[in-house]
């Protein structure tokens, strides 16, 4: 290839890299927002959790209350699981920033 053909391809590659860097930053921002939303759910739904547990405790033979409590327990568990995954992902971002991607990748490969 000639220079006049290579220059535009290098420019395109740099644009693609810039786009990837932007998406990487956006992913971290989005994970931070997800973490905040999941953490904030306790304040938003804490009273619901308390009321459902109290209702199920007061009505041990009522299938509707017991079913509602079971659904609440699943929701609480799923929230905790997703929050753990998000926090793990954010920790990886943090470690990449402090130790470099190559070191973090090597450590993660040790876990595999």
* Residue 3 pLDDT: 87
Residue 15 has pLDDT above 90, yes or no: yes
Are 37 and 29 within 8 A, CB to CB?
no
Interhelix angle 3-58/63-99, rounded to 10 degrees, is: 150
pLDDT in tens, 97-112: 999 999 999 999 999 8
pTM value is 0.81
- pLDDT, the chain, mean: 95
Percent of the chain with pLDDT strictly greater than 90: 94
pLDDT in tens, 25-60: 999 999 999 999 999 999 999 999 999 999 999 999
Q: Is 100 helix (H, G, I), strand (E, B) or coil?
A: coil
């Amino acid at each position: 290839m000639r220079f006049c053909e290579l220059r535009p391809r290098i420019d395109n590659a740099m644009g693609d890299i810039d786009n990837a860097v932007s998406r990487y930053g956006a992913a971290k921002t989005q994970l931070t927002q997800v973490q905040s939303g999941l953490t904030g759910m306790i304040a938003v739904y804490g009273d619901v959790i308390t009321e459902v547990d109290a209702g199920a405790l007061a009505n041990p033979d009522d299938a509707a209350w017991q079913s509602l409590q079971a659904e609440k327990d699943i929701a609480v568990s799923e929230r905790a699981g997703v929050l753990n995954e998000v926090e793990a992902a954010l920790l990886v971002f943090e470690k990449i920033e402090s130790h470099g991607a190559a070191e973090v990748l090597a450590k993660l490969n040790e876990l595999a």
